[in-house]
Amino acid sequence: MATVIVDADVITMDRDTGATPVTRSIRIEGGVIAEIGDSVAIREGDTVIDGTDRLVTPGLVNAHTHSWETLYKGRYDNLPLELWMLYSYPILGIEPLPADVVRLRSLVFAMESLTSGVTTLVDDVLETPGQSAGQLAAVFGAYDEVGIRANVSGHVINVPFLDTLPFVTRWLPDEIVREVGGQSLLTADEYLAFSREAFASHDRTGGGRLRYMLAPSAPQRCTPDLLRGATELAVARDAECHIHVLETRTQAVTADLLHGTTFVEYLRDLDALSPNTTFAHGIWLTDSDIDIVAEHGVSVSHNPLSNMKLGSGLAPWRAYHDRGVTLGLGTDGCSSSDTPRILEVAKAAALVHKITDPDPDRWPRVEEVLTAATVGGARTARLGDTVGSLEVGKRADFLVYDLTTLAFTPRSRLDHQWVYSENGSSLEYVYVDGRRVVDHGQVTTVDQEAILREFRAMMPRIAEWQDAVDRANSVLHEPFTRMYREAVAYPLTAGR
Ligand SMILES: [Zn+2]
């Protein structure tokens, strides 16, 4: 059975018309875009959608997020990353979440993503204190159930926590240093074996929508053999290798102190950069680091809302663009930006660089921002040939907006209004793989109300546990504040 949209305003994001709205009809059959043009075939039994007063766009791609943080939405404010991590990814007194909690968490996160037009998630699933195969299976199961497209990671940290940060041990009591230092960590071989299993069990499941992704946490949080091994395995499996690189100034200081180089130079020297590599954040890079990124075909997820909330800094958008680096947009997790709505990130990306550079020719253009929110994000996820634009042969992930809403009144420039005016009120339908998964704010694939009821019933117990864990970790707050202040005052030298 096919779906046909007749004479809609369409933003294709393809090479011909990009973000410029055009009038098109689209035929969707077998989960793919079968035809797109001035007119398309309509056959008996087709579901026909009248395109009058409707805007059709590609589905949005969230190029960097952590579904773990769904349980932490709205809990914290005014904490820089190194202090915020103590609460959102606690070190002390933490027990693994049961798989049924992981499933509910993932369902709720996917539902909020889909109902805001995000059809692809790059979900860097970071479980604390460490990820089990059962927890990973629960995420894949939930995303299969709800019908979203996703890259889902096995995330790994295999360097002792206190070795990943500068200055901190001198401020910590010995018993804490011993307790944190005694936590068990995977070897590179163990993580790669876990990943091979995950590829076998989960990769290209959900009708091909779901992919396993390698995610060595960060250059300072993984051993060299793991960084290299994860890159090799990602290339061999044509999978994404997702890594946090230079999110904060403290991390740039850490690279200086640990290696006397930048983390980008360090990764290059390890052979841990490839076109399968995506840097999350990529803020504190030098100019020559950006050349290295471009030379190795590494892509970057730009996450300005999270970076503003944690005071991390601002990625050099124009410098990446000038060198042809592929950019996606990410919300990051729901503790550091408190929403999976990628259009808010698009608006922030379009605006924030205008106040840091006086030259308007260098400001992000709406077309560039929409590219990052769609096909650019898809490319960072190794899905550039699959989704991200409306073209014949691509999987049919698309959005249908109602143009009679207040947000689209008056109708001036639909591409501008998609970024600057649309507030979530206009989205009528969301399709993934040609299947309608959202209808006027309701997810059609699962019982949204029942899942939300179950989630609400669970949360008081989870919040009690979070409060207790917060109290246990608050002993680290003062020493980490001292470390943070020392690090931000420390002069950066490597590569500068
Ligand atoms: Zn992150």
pLDDT at 494: 80
pLDDT at 184: 87
Residues around ion ligand 1, judged by CB within 5 A, are: 280
Say how many Å lie between the CA of residue 244 and the centre of ligand 1. 6
Whole-angstrom distance between the N-terminal and C-terminal Cα of the chain? 59
Order of strands, edge to edge, in the sheet holding 241-245?
60-65, 118-123, 149-156, 210-216, 241-245, 277-281, 299-302, 327-329
Work out the burial of residue 461: count CB atoms within 10 Å of its CB; fewer than 13 is exposed, 13-18 middle, 19 or more buried: exposed
Say how many Å lie between the CA of residue 251 and the centre of ligand 1. 14
Q: How confident is the model at residue 183 (pLDDT cuts 50, 70, 90)?
A: confident
pLDDT at 376: 98
pLDDT at 496: 78
Query: Is residue 182 scored above 90 in pLDDT?
Result: no
CA–CA separation, 205 vs 208, rounded Å? 5
Share of the chain above pLDDT 90, in %: 97
Say how many Å lie between the CA of residue 151 and the centre of ligand 1. 14
Tokens coding 214: 């390698």
pLDDT at 495: 79
Say how many Å lie between the CA of residue 138 and the centre of ligand 1. 20
Query: What CATH number does domain 3-58+391-443 carry, 2.30.40.10, 2.60.120.560, 3.30.300.20, 3.30.70.141?
Result: 2.30.40.10
Share of the chain above pLDDT 70, in %: 100
pLDDT digits (tens, 9 = 90+) for 430-460: 999 999 999 999 999 999 999 999 999 999 9
Say how many Å lie between the CA of residue 81 and the centre of ligand 1. 10
Say how many Å lie between the CA of residue 218 and the centre of ligand 1. 10
Say how many Å lie between the CA of residue 241 and the centre of ligand 1. 13
pLDDT digits (tens, 9 = 90+) for 51-86: 999 999 999 999 999 999 999 999 999 999 999 999
* Comma-separated ranges of CATH 3.20.20.140 domains in the chain: 60-380
pLDDT at 1: 81
Whether the CB-CB separation of 494 and 261 falls below 8 Å is answered with yes
Q: Is the Cα dihedral 282, 288, 291, 296 positive or negative? A: negative
* Comma-separated ranges of CATH 2.30.40.10 domains in the chain: 3-58+391-443
Average pLDDT for the chain? 97
Say how many Å lie between the CA of residue 131 and the centre of ligand 1. 16
Say how many Å lie between the CA of residue 245 and the centre of ligand 1. 10
Say how many Å lie between the CA of residue 187 and the centre of ligand 1. 22
Say how many Å lie between the CA of residue 279 and the centre of ligand 1. 10
Q: Does domain 60-380 have CATH number 3.30.565.10?
A: no
CA–CA separation, 25 vs 8, rounded Å? 6
Say how many Å lie between the CA of residue 333 and the centre of ligand 1. 7
